[in-house]
Structure 1
Amino acid sequence: MTLLSRTLRRSKGRIVKVRNYIAQAGPVLVILAFMPLAGCTSLAVGAGATAGVAALQERGFGGAVSDTAITAEIWQKFLTEDENLFRRIEIEVVEGEVLLAGTVENTDSELKAVELAWQVNGVNRVINEINVGQGSSLMDSASDLLITTRIKTALMFDTDVYAINYSVETINGTVHIMGIAQSEHERNLVISHARATSYVRRVVSHVRLKDDPQRQRT
């Protein structure tokens, strides 16, 4: 599948993304509910793998499930309020901290998106990286997807980076990174990988250190 095709599928199929978030929010419940009826081994393995990955993250299984539920609820609020919010804004959540990144048509839409995010239980901070202006072109979106993929790949193959703890969003060449670093050295490595990636215009880091006192209070 070409980058262009993936971008089209991404913009037109955002509802699938919401459903996936909802499904991930309760993988154990899905297993318990459907295994006795369906006896589907592949379902159990898939849900179990999701749970296993979540458990390995620094935020833990409970934190991952909570963040996924927050993400799904914000998506739902965006979709109910305004389809443009749903289509144009990307959401990342780490330990109740919500990153909103994208481009909307006017300031009212920007403020509404922030307001809706704050309405969700469990949100303790909203990071507003929303721009006001024209949305990305198809080629820009394809380029952003390529940038994100390259950065994630670089993190995955760096043995000094615990890549599972990071999420990456790219909007118009600006890379937003969220996650929990084991050390200042690891955080610097993650940022360096992003900056070294072709076509990146700017890198914005929202990465916290594992022992950050602010994190311990959340």
Structure 2
Amino acid sequence: MEYLLYGISLPHRLANNVQKDLVFKQFFIQLLSSIAVTVATATYLWGYETENKCEAPFDGADWNRRSEYIDVAKRFRDILKIWFVFGLIDCLRCGLVFAYILYDKAIYAIGYHVLTLNDILGLAAVLILHVYRFQFTGKWCSGDFLPESKATEGFLVERGKFLVGLVIYVWVGGFVMACVYSCVMVAAYRRYADKQNASQIQYKV
């Protein structure tokens, strides 16, 4: 139980400055990643194809029932908003970690742990991203069936490309962050074990 807290709880991880450098490096990398996502998402949310409209039937089978068309422009806009909020909150969470490292105030640690709930939003964002982009409606409005993949009136080609890039980021970035976190946990475990061994030796002496 103690090691679990030592690996998850921010105050435990920073106790006696044993993991201070590891925590800083981990969240510095995470902050850079979150800033990149937030800025890129904001750019496409407010800078690309903001006025374009595109609708399509759910499965592409019946194009005559326009009343049942899905508003893909709204879907893409919503998923970009979700990712923007997720990235913004994650930046704030990383900021709280750095604030706790600098000032050692419990309020920063509490805020950090509360904002870990943002991971739920992140999971939802990943699932919605895949559904909205790779359903027929998302493929159609992204111009996947066009002869040329370039900005076209009545389509959301640029946003579609960005969402594919976001999918790639999710999988590649997720793998990289998993590797980083694994390395941090291994290093933390070794330091924890060394600390325990040193305590036992001191106790015997």
Bin the TM-score by the shorter chain.
under 0.3
TM-score in terms of structure 2 length: 0.26
Q: Hey, which of these two has a bigger chunk of helix by percent? A: 2
Q: In terms of Rg, which structure is larger? A: 2
TM-score in terms of structure 1 length: 0.25
Q: Hey, which of these two has a bigger chunk of strand by percent? A: 1
